[in-house]
């Protein structure tokens, strides 16, 4: 296995990375007109590469058959390194030692660039390090691209408090609807803790679930006790998450559904702006619109 081997995601990964790349290009160009400290922080950075298995093709009248092959494409860390004008500093975090080794190799291939590669749990690292006076003169984009439900609410809250970071957050809606079972009583203590950690509250129990009256037979004998059932479908869960984010970030752009056409949608790609100034918000909205127009 190559050090930078990293097979993850599906076809939607291509779209996700294309959206983030477009944002990074616009962001870096616009911010560098007035700021000398423009950073990129990749909290779940991977290896810098994405291993893609291209399926074998059967031959037909026109084309020869082609065997399956594997190719390495750019992952988010490498995409960010290639942005022009370049980010002044890049911070790559990952919990996996092999991924850290690959990120260090990637760093060595960009001599002269200010790159930090940090091993550890992204939540712990961010929560420990993010409070900093320097945010007044620094702006950053942070990419939160976990496999599942790893991002903690406290992490998001502290990012929002910097008032300096735009966050791209791949939110696992499928993770949420798997954990938040239809019937509230089916959610065990472990799942409940995971949901609290991800949503930053236990209010979801009353906000997402409604009581269903006990079922009685003709004689009034209770056949089923009162249950609490989740009303929200996938779209409802997405707007619940968006509303939660909007409680800590001054602006949350319309999320991108991923994969774009598959239903039920598995992910929502959120962009949340922590800088409350009109200028920062308008700029982010403008980037968002121009990305939609370009897709």
Ligand X SMILES: C[S@@+](CC[C@H](N)C(=O)[O-])C[C@H]1O[C@@H](n2cnc3c(N)ncnc32)[C@H](O)[C@@H]1O
Contacting positions for ligand X (CB under 6 A): 8, 17, 44-46, 50, 75-76, 93-96, 99, 121-122, 145-147, 150
Q: What residues form DSSP beta bridges with 42? A: 92, 143
Instruction: Measure the CA–CA gap between 176 and 21, rounded to whole angstroms.
Output: 26
Nearer to ligand X, 100 or 280 (CB): 100
Nearer to ligand X, 4 or 232 (CB): 4
The single-letter DSSP state of residue 57 is B
Nearer to ligand X, 76 or 275 (CB): 76
Whole-number minimum distance, CB 278 to ligand X, in Å?
A: 31
Whole-number minimum distance, CB 146 to ligand X, in Å?
A: 6
Nearer to ligand X, 76 or 265 (CB): 76
Residue with tokens 């660039």: 113
Whole-number minimum distance, CB 94 to ligand X, in Å?
A: 5
Q: How far is CA 15 from CA 27, 88, 118, 150, 154, in A?
A: 18, 26, 27, 22, 28
Alpha helix (H) residue ranges in 148-261: 153-161, 173-179, 189-199, 204-207, 234-248
Whole-number minimum distance, CB 77 to ligand X, in Å?
A: 6
Nearer to ligand X, 271 or 280 (CB): 271
Helix (H, G, I), strand (E, B) or coil at 221: coil
Nearer to ligand X, 95 or 229 (CB): 95
Whole-number minimum distance, CB 122 to ligand X, in Å?
A: 4
- Are 198 and 176 within 8 A, CB to CB? yes
Whole-number minimum distance, CB 16 to ligand X, in Å?
A: 8
Cα dihedral across residues 66, 68, 70, 75: positive or negative:
positive
Instruction: Measure the CA–CA gap between 183 and 229, rounded to whole angstroms.
Output: 5
Residue nearest to ligand X (CB): 75
């Amino acid at each position: 296995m190559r050090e930078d081997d990293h097979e993850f995601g599906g076809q939607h990964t291509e779209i996700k990375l294309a959206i983030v790349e477009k944002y990074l290009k616009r962001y870096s160009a616009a911010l560098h007109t007035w700021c000398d400290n423009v950073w990129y922080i990749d909290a779940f950075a991977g290896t810098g590469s994405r291993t893609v298995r291209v399926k074998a093709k059967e031959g037909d009248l026109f084309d020869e058959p082609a065997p399956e092959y594997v190719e390495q494409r750019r992952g988010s860390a490498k995409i960010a390194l290639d942005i022009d004008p370049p980010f002044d500093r890049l911070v790559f975090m990952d919990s996996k030692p092999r991924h850290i080794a690959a990120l260090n190799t990637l760093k060595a291939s960009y001599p002269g660039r200010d790159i930090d590669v940090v091993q550890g749990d992204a939540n712990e690292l961010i929560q420990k390090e993010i409070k900093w006076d320097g945010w007044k003169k620094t702006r950053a984009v942070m990419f939160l691209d976990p496999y599942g439900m790893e991002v903690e609410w406290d992490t998001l809250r502290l990012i929002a408090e910097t008032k300096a970071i735009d966050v791209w957050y791949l939110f696992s809606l499928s993770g949420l609807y798997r954990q938040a079972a239809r019937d509230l009583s089916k959610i065990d203590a472990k799942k409940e803790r995971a949901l609290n950690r991800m949503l930053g509250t236990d209010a979801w129990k009353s906000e997402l679930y409604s009581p269903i009256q006990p079922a009685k037979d003709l004689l009034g004998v209770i056949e089923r006790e009162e249950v609490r059932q989740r009303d929200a479908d996938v779209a409802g869960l997405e707007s619940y998450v968006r509303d939660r984010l909007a409680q800590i970030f001054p602006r949350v752009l319309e999320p991108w559904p991923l994969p774009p056409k598959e239903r039920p949608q598995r992910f929502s790609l959120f962009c949340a702006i922590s800088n409350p100034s009109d200028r920062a918000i308008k700029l982010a909205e403008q980037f968002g619109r121009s990305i939609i127009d370009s897709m």
